[in-house]
Amino acid sequence: MIRLLLIILVALLIGTALSMGLEYDLGYIRISLGHYLIETNFWVGLALLVAVVVLSVLTINLIRRFRQGTGMMAGWLARGNQRRARRRTTHGLLALAEGNWPRARKLLTSSANHADTPLINYLAAAQAAFESGDHEAVDELLRAAFESTPGSDMAVGITQAQLQLAGNRLEQALATLIRLRKQAPNHPFVLKLLKNTYLRLEDWRELAKLLPEMRKRNLLAADEVETLERTVWQNLLQRAAEDCRRQTGADSASLEPLTRLWDELPGVLRRDEHTIREYARLLADLGDEAQSETLLRKVLRNHWSDELINLYGRVKGKKPDEQLLIAEQWLKDRPNNAELLLALGRLSLRNELWGKAREYFETSLHLRRSRETLAELSRLNAHMGEEDTSVKLLMQGLLKDSELPDLPMPKA
């Protein structure tokens, strides 16, 4: 209301001013434009000029409002596309969770352009394409994911490596992970995926290089690292033994590759009884039983192990009689150790002490019924002319191991 009164007041003042101006002096305006000539008094020209200005302002405001209306329409349309994209993305993720791969891929891909997070859409669609077995589409969708979001190289690369591993494309997965590690050398998940890849490729040498880094960063449980490290180096020892055989033949194998690798082992594994046993066994298999016996003797003096004493009874040292005496000294501290008694029986056989060997075997078998001890005693009895006793022992072991039910039998 106040605004209207102000407009009327201003109009009256302008009208009054114009009327007074007209009475005072009409003025004169003349405009020449080419062959055209426009003549009028000052006040009429001024009125025309005001009219032109007013029309110009109105036109500008009209254009501005039209543009704003167009922007509002575009915004409304964009918001509608985003709502539909969110809905289709949700349905696509549900289809992915339900295992409906074609529907999931279609919904996720079609809504990616208008989605808030197109990276998620393309990665999930790549998962669906992988499950459908379309590996070419997987690569295309991963490329679209990378192009959709700046800085997504690591996320896309990890997803690609996971899908390559799941598809048993191990060489491609390794290439992807090596590239990612160059970008982020200490990325925990990249290191774990590398570990899995090397393990499946049985690339023990590269895995041996990787494990210290994983141990340093606590990426695996201590017992898992210990088990994996033992597996890695035992496989490397076996391959070194194969290299020894290939170099000079199985009969006169050179031990240099094996002994050199033993020197490379981490200190904790050089004290590990399982690794020591594997190394000593390989030495014996390659023909150097004397070095194997020396190693086992040194270890057993300071660290007792039933596994190692079992192997000690199998290898032939330089002096079998001295080897037997040393083992008998250990018996003073472990009189009821069945494995030691079994080893003593074998060492007695190596020294051709048949009666002592049978006594050791029988004592060991009394303490613990073992198929290995039973077989040794049965073999010894057979060679000593006691075939009936040998057969009886074998039958006892066979019946016990077979866990046969208690059934009536005919009387002899």
pLDDT of residue 102: 87
Task: Tell me the two tokens of residue 250.
Answer: 């199985």
Give the single-character DSSP code of 112.
T
End-to-end CA distance of the chain: 131
CATH of domain 331-399: 1.25.40.10
pLDDT of residue 171: 94
Q: Per-domain residue ranges for the chain?
A: 331-399
Report the share of the chain in percent with pLDDT over 90.
Answer: 41
In the predicted structure, residue 101 carries a pLDDT above the cut 70: yes
More confident site: 60 or 43: 60
**Beta partners for residue 32, in sequence order:** 37
pLDDT of residue 179: 94
Range with the lowest mean pLDDT among 6-20, 223-237, 289-303?
Answer: 6-20
Residue type, 383: H
In the predicted structure, residue 23 carries a pLDDT above the cut 60: no
Nearest 5°: phi and psi at 36? -105, 145
pLDDT of residue 234: 94
pLDDT of residue 402: 58
In 3D space, the residue among 30, 52, 29 whose CA is nearest the CA of residue 42 turns out to be 29
pLDDT of residue 250: 46
More confident site: 33 or 58: 58
In the predicted structure, residue 49 carries a pLDDT above the cut 70: no
Range with the lowest mean pLDDT among 72-76, 186-190, 206-210?
Answer: 72-76
Q: If DSSP states are collapsed to H, E and C, what string results for 139-184? A: HHHHHHHHHHCCCCHHHHHHHHHHHHHHCCCHHHHHHHHHHHHHHC
Per residue in 26-35, pLDDT (tens digit) is: 566 666 666 6
C-alpha span between 266 and 214 (Å, rounded): 15
Mean pLDDT to the nearest integer, 204-230 = 91
More confident site: 159 or 6: 159
Confidence of residue 408 (pLDDT cuts 50, 70, 90): low
Rg (C-alpha) for the chain, rounded Å, is 46
Range with the lowest mean pLDDT among 7-16, 332-341, 368-377?
Answer: 7-16
For the full predicted model, state whether its pTM sits above 0.85: no
Task: Tell me the two tokens of residue 64.
Answer: 């501005």
Question: How many C-beta atoms surround the C-beta of residue 272 within 10 A?
Answer: 19
pLDDT of residue 78: 45
Cβ atoms 154, 186 nearer than 8 A: no
Per residue in 140-187, pLDDT (tens digit) is: 888 888 888 888 889 999 999 999 999 899 999 999 999 999 999 989
pLDDT of residue 32: 66
pLDDT of residue 236: 95
Three-class secondary structure of residue 40 per DSSP:
strand
Nearest 5°: phi and psi at 30? -135, 125
Distances in whole angstroms, Cα of residue 362 to Cα of each of 119, 199, 280, 327, 391: 72, 45, 28, 17, 15
More confident site: 64 or 190: 190
Confidence of residue 77 (pLDDT cuts 50, 70, 90): very low
Mean pLDDT of the chain: 82
More confident site: 69 or 111: 111
Range with the lowest mean pLDDT among 46-50, 101-105, 146-150, 364-368?
Answer: 46-50
More confident site: 159 or 395: 159
C-alpha span between 89 and 62 (Å, rounded): 40
Range with the lowest mean pLDDT among 91-95, 134-138, 274-278, 401-405?
Answer: 401-405
pLDDT of residue 62: 74
Q: How many helices (H) and strands (E) does the chain have?
A: 20, 2
Distances in whole angstroms, Cα of residue 144 to Cα of each of 75, 90, 93, 310: 26, 20, 18, 61
pLDDT of residue 74: 47
Task: Tell me the two tokens of residue 385.
Answer: 């002319």
CA 224 from chain center: how many Å?
A: 15
Confidence of residue 411 (pLDDT cuts 50, 70, 90): low
In the predicted structure, residue 20 carries a pLDDT above the cut 70: no
pLDDT of residue 14: 65
More confident site: 401 or 375: 375
